[in-house]
Amino acid sequence: MFNLWILMPMLSGPFRFLALDVETANYSAHSICQIGIAGVRPDNSIEVWVSLIDPQDRFSSNNIAVHGIRPAAVVGAPKFAPTFRALSPLLARYTIFQHSTFDSRCFAAAAARAALEPPEWTWADSVTLARRVWPELKGAGGGHGLGNLKKALGLEFRHHDAGEDARAAAEVVLRAESRTGLPYSDLVRKPSALRNQGSAVR
């Protein structure tokens, strides 16, 4: 049986920012079956928390083929609602990177299904950031998806594991900061704002 106390180590911080990823049991956005969170500390070290979630829904064979999570794996796993409540204090405090907008849509859908207030967190998209920093990857064998960035940037992670993908998204942000010399808070702004500052993304 899973216990929610396993969430507590991720609540300590402090973090510069978070990255979050989910896997779903089927094509419904609410069917979250795994959540991964990567917390980037002030020294840029990364702490990862990951948990299976009981989606209270059916599993699609197509989704199982992608992430390998089967119904038996989530027996006794925490359900979304108590996990959401336990994680909310952490997620409300920091900017949360997601790789595309899929993860925030899933959280909103799962919250609505559980009759919870929709999360009002600060989200940022590491895909948008990657497009600004590595424009040469556009259309290059996968563009700015995590799979292609894994090859292009030499990242090491197991794709379609929520914890691994969250860490990878955090690594993309850190690599972008290193390449440009700019903090993520500048990189997520519109390019025109960067030009007005006299900064250029290299």
Q: Tens place of pLDDT for every residue, the chain, 202 residues?
A: 445 545 545 557 899 999 999 999 999 999 999 999 999 999 999 999 999 999 999 999 999 999 999 999 999 999 999 999 999 999 999 999 999 899 999 999 999 999 999 999 999 999 999 889 988 888 766 678 777 777 778 776 677 799 999 999 999 999 999 999 999 999 988 665 455 544 444 4
For residue 15, the Cα-to-chain-centroid distance in whole angstroms is 15
In a domain, 132, yes or no: yes
In a domain, 136, yes or no: yes
In a domain, 155, yes or no: yes
In a domain, 53, yes or no: yes
**CATH number, residue 128:** 3.30.420.10
Please, which residues bridge with residue 24 across strands?
A: 32
Burial class (CB in 10 A: 0-12, 13-18, 19+), 8: exposed
In a domain, 34, yes or no: yes
Number of domains forming the structure of the chain: 1
**Angstrom distance (rounded) from CA 156 to CA 167:** 10
In a domain, 178, yes or no: yes
In a domain, 201, yes or no: no
Query: Rounded to two decimals, what is the model's pTM?
Result: 0.88
CA-to-CA dists, residue 199 to 64, 179, 186, 193, 196, angstroms: 44, 13, 9, 9, 8
- Of 128, 6, 161, the closest CA to residue 78 belongs to 6
Full residue range of the structural domain in which residue 46 is found: 4-196
172 Cβ neighbours under 8 A, 6+ residues apart: 99, 126, 129, 130, 146, 149, 153, 155
In a domain, 164, yes or no: yes
**Angstrom distance (rounded) from CA 122 to CA 115:** 21
Please, which residues bridge with residue 20 across strands?
A: 37
pLDDT (tens digit, 9 = 90+) per residue, 52-108?
999 999 999 999 999 999 999 999 999 999 999 999 999 999 999 999 899 999 999
